[in-house]
Structure 1
Amino acid sequence: MTSLKQQLDRLYQHIAHRLQAEVQDYQQRIYNNMENLYKYIRKGDVVLVEGRTKLSRIIQLFSNSNWSHIGMYVGDELIQPHRPYREQFLEKFGDNANHLLIEAYAGDGVIAVPLQKYQNYNIRVCRPYNILEEDLKQVVEEVISNLGKRYDKQNIVDIALMLLPRWLNPFKKRSVKACLGSCNEFQVICSGMIARAFQHVGYPVLPVLTTTPDKSNPLKLNPYGGILSMRHYSQILPRDFDLSPNFQIIKFNIIETGEFDYKKLKWED
């Protein structure tokens, strides 16, 4: 006989498959210039993605944000001579192995994919401002170490419940330090995986102010103006990297090039 767990797993796989279907009304706002992207992106940058699946739409809805997914750019790090699966990545991705992204994806778990995968998506590149080089290397290494882990579907469910209106929210009294999801070392979601790596070096994504601003303490010394509490990484969403005051937005398509003549744009009559 089929166990209840097996039945639930089959149901989840069926639902996950349905939710991976693409929506028909996706609107790309600009054609991404991959030459520019490869030129300006750096290892350790995070790439926010406006997904085009039904699951993406659900995440956008409950998070009140366009960004439904996130990955970390690691460039050619996985094909360096000391990497154990160097040849495997070279064979699988060819020249694209020089520009890889690590992501946690529903159904696939934590995988490496070419950055080119998101050429025809709305994306945003965010860079941790003024992070120490050694800390950034540690962040990248930790994200790489997650390769092969499973996707934590319970984490997504718990986040959705947490974002419900307060009168429906079962987590309304839960601390910002509380873990959501499966809370183990073998399952992650895209944003939580990356947030945890930054938190391990003390770099804030979107911390919580625990006190009122201290007017006697110059903002130059503490730009947040008060004592901070680190939100548990399992509560971090892709949108939080966009909202974070610490992450710089890299406008690779136009602004980074320093060249933009709006007078030459072609408009439909």
Structure 2
Amino acid sequence: MAIPLTKKEIEQLPVQPYDDMRQDLQTGDLVFCSGSYFFSQAVQKFTHSVWSHVGMIYRDPTLQRIFVLESETFIGVRLAPLSKYLRDYHGKNRPYKGHIVIANVNPPVDEERLNQAISYGMDELTKPYDNFEILRIGVRILFKISRRTQDRKYICSELVYDCFNSVGVPFSLRDEYVSPDDIWQDDQVQPKYRIF
């Protein structure tokens, strides 16, 4: 289980240079982000966590590229090169503003099921981001209201949860919603290193 961290504790984790660990990244690894953007801070506040985003690594053997399968604010479900986070986040020639930690699921999930989980997520490509879900999560926390039924929109953690759940690897939920921190604190999640 990945233990809860503060931003200062994340900053104290040793940074593994991307070029050094790129070969180690595997399909199904998890990308946890602790952003400094306005929306990131709103997610952190509502979920009482340092984590504002989570995605899944997809290692494409043909292109020899590392992608993040994610649901991004105002964009929806997409595949983005992980290198974009480090060099050109949102096309602004600047890296991601925050910290990025890589984790994996342990015990390891076999390659066939990880490929099926990624395939599930790719079937969801272009589905919209649920821009108002964070607000609804805040209201549900405040009033202890149960989770809504799944619609065709995703926040990042719902996408990752559904991908793994589709292959029989569910993450434990502490509440009636799924946040990046719920996935981080699941017993199966093991931090590997910080890349940024």
Q: Which TM bucket (shorter chain)?
A: 0.7 to 0.9
**Shift of the alpha carbon at 1:39?**
2.3
CA distance in 1, matches of 2:45, 2:181: 12
Equivalent residue letter for 2:128: R
CA contact (8 A) 1:48 1:71 kept: yes
Residue number in structure 2 paired with 1:196:
162
1:245 to 178, 183, 187: 187
**Shift of the alpha carbon at 1:193?**
0.8
CA contact (8 A) 1:50 1:69 kept: yes
Q: Secondary structure of 2:181's match?
A: helix
Q: Which has the larger radius of gyration?
A: 1
Equivalent residue letter for 2:178: I
CA contact (8 A) 2:173 2:182 kept: no
State how 1:178-257 maps to structure 2 within 5 Å: 178-179=147-148, 183-184=150-151, 186-207=152-173, 235-251=177-193
CA contact (8 A) 1:40 1:252 kept: no
CA distance in 2, matches of 1:202, 1:179: 22
Instruction: Please give the per-residue CA displacement for 1:77-127, whole angstroms capped at 9, x wherever unaligned.
Output: 6xx4xxxxxxxxx7xxxxxx7111121111111122111233354111121
**Shift of the alpha carbon at 1:52?**
2.2
Instruction: Please give the per-residue CA displacement for 1:110-149, whole angstroms capped at 9, x wherever unaligned.
Output: 1221112333541111211122332222111111221111
**Shift of the alpha carbon at 1:249?**
1.1
Instruction: Please give the per-residue CA displacement for 1:25-84, whole angstroms capped at 9, x wherever unaligned.
Output: x9993655111231221111110001121010111111111110111111226xx4xxxx
Residue number in structure 2 paired with 1:134:
112
Residue number in structure 1 paired with 2:21:
37
CA distance in 1, matches of 2:79, 2:159: 14
Q: Name the stretch that deviates more: 198-207 or 105-114.
A: 198-207
Aligned residues: percent identity? 25
For the aligned residues, what is the CA RMSD?
Answer: 2.5
Instruction: Please give the per-residue CA displacement for 1:173-197, whole angstroms capped at 9, x wherever unaligned.
Output: x3xxx435xx32x311111011011
State how 1:32-71 maps to structure 2 within 5 Å: 32-71=16-55
Q: Name the stretch that deviates more: 100-109 or 152-161.
A: 152-161
Q: Secondary structure of 1:153's match?
A: coil
Residue number in structure 2 paired with 1:122:
99
CA distance in 2, matches of 1:31, 1:132: 28
**Shift of the alpha carbon at 1:207?**
4.3
Normalization by structure 2: what TM-score? 0.78
Residue number in structure 2 paired with 1:5:
none
**Greater relative CO (CA pairs within 8 A, separation 6+):** 2
Equivalent residue letter for 2:74: G
Count, aligned residues: 175
CA contact (8 A) 1:50 1:67 kept: yes
Runs of 5+ unmatched residues, structure 2: 1-6, 87-94
CA distance in 2, matches of 1:100, 1:134: 18
Normalization by structure 1: what TM-score? 0.58
Instruction: Please give the per-residue CA displacement for 1:162-214, whole angstroms capped at 9, x wherever unaligned.
Output: 222xxxx151xx3xxx435xx32x31111101101111222121246xxxxxx
Q: Secondary structure of 2:132's match?
A: helix
Whose strand proportion is higher, 1 or 2? Answer: 2
